[in-house]
């Protein structure tokens, strides 16, 4: 099928529709799309019924509208930008896709995704690995994931978490946190408290009137398991890329006395071999935000929603897009961060016995 969309430059970016119904965010917001257009990019935006920003705002920014899924017919040189998982079709991927692929740490279905790319000579430029020379991420939703994860944990503890969850402005979420702050406060431990996620969690807890216990690298290097279990709520804001001793195990939950009744796992690394919370085996979602861990004595709930920032879609998208856009402007050069993304992709493919000779940024 020929692509009918006009091109004014050799560099084209398609903002694809997210197939996950609960995904309301956009990696590029209209004001930043206008910046890309002003720099000579052709920005095509697929219609999306759930995206927080209406298509008209993108048209006003100089973008081109297209039907959902039309990226499949775009020229092979197109950069396809999204956030969450791709649809299962087509079986081969010939474009350069920018999104969170979750395919480099042994996650479920990771090899199948990489095989689709190598079969079509496409490339995954994973946003998780868009980093500077020191490995620091250049665009991330971590702050907002931590903020929402901690907020949901507090509302659950206070009996005010009512599924199904729905997106809302931050002001509304903060209002509920403040309204429910009277009375005895839960004891909350934030692990990874000094990172982006941890900072977001601490800010949400401050709005809720809670002063948490804060652990970071020093405290997790030699973990005090008894102290961890002596909190009502654990907010895990640690993303690990190498095997790390678990923070909590089923054995520790069964054998030790504990106060812990709720875990908010912001990082949701459940299918990774690096999972530091191997006490549950699947994520939760907006319809069922909390799942109980079986056979561990006293009740223990887990919140493990892998698109937490989508519950504050406007604020989270605006902050992320502002960080990402300067790097999208270097796609035609290409910038060093994208070369690092490509290198990690190639290494992951080679580790799975897949060839990447024809792949380039």
- Going by the annotation, the residues of the binding site are 136, 195-196, 216, 220, 266, 305-308
CA distance 112 to 96: 17
Rounded to the nearest 10°, the torsion over CA 252, 220, 84, 19 is 30
- Binding-site positions for NAD(+) read 136, 195-196, 216, 220, 266, 305-308
> Is 102 a known active-site residue?
yes
- List, edge to edge, every strand of the sheet that includes 12-15: 64-66, 42-46, 12-15, 79-81, 96-99, 123-126
CA atoms within 13 A on the CB side of 53: 25
Of 17, 95, 102, 231, which one is the catalytic site residue?
Answer: 102
By DSSP bridging, strand 290-292 and strand 301-303 are antiparallel
> Is 170 a known active-site residue?
no
- List, edge to edge, every strand of the sheet that includes 262-265: 213-215, 188-191, 233-236, 262-265, 301-303, 290-292
- Lookup: tokens for 228: 């961890």
CA distance 283 to 293: 12
CA distance 9 to 338: 20
152 in Cβ contact with 180 (< 8 Å) = no
In three-state secondary structure terms, 214 is: strand
Of 47, 84, 105, 225, which one is the catalytic site residue?
Answer: 84
Residues annotated catalytic, as ranges: 84, 102
């Amino acid at each position: 099928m020929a692509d009918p969309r006009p091109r004014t430059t050799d560099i084209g970016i398609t903002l694809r529709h997210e197939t996950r119904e609960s995904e309301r965010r956009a990696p590029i917001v209209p004001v930043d799309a206008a910046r890309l257009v002003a720099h000579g990019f052709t920005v095509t935006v697929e219609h999306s019924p759930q995206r927080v920003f209406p298509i008209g705002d993108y048209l006003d920014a100089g973008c081109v509208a297209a039907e959902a899924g039309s990226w499949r017919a775009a020229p092979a040189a197109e950069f396809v930008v999204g956030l969450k998982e791709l649809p299962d079709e087509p079986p081969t991927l010939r474009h350069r896709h920018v999104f969170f692929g979750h395919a480099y740490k042994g996650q479920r279905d990771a090899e199948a995704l990489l095989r689709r790319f190598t079969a079509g000579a496409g490339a995954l430029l994973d946003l998780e690995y868009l980093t500077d020379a020191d490995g620091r991420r250049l665009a991330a939703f971590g702050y907002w994931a931590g903020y929402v994860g901690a907020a949901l944990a507090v509302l659950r503890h206070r009996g005010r978490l009512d599924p199904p969850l729905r997106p809302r402005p931050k002001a509304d979420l903060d209002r509920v946190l403040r309204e429910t702050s009277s009375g005895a406060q839960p004891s909350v431990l934030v692990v990874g408290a000094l990172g982006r996620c941890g900072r977001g969690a601490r800010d949400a807890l401050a709005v809720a009137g809670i002063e948490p216990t804060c652990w970071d690298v020093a405290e997790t290097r030699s973990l005090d398991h008894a102290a961890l279990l002596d909190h009502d709520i654990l907010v895990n804001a640690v993303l690990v890329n190498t095997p790390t001793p678990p923070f909590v195990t089923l054995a520790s939950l069964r054998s030790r006395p504990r106060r812990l009744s709720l875990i908010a796992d912001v990082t949701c690394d459940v299918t990774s071999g690096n999972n530091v919370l191997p006490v549950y085996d699947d994520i939760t979602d907006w319809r069922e935000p909390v799942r109980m861990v079986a056979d561990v004595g006293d009740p223990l709930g887990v919140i493990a929603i892998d698109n937490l920032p989508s519950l504050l879609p406007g604020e989270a998208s605006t902050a992320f897009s502002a960080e990402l856009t300067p790097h999208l402007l270097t796609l035609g050069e290409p910038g060093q961060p994208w070369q690092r993304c490509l290198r990690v992709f190639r290494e992951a493919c080679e580790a799975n016995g897949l060839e990447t000779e024809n792949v380039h940024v």
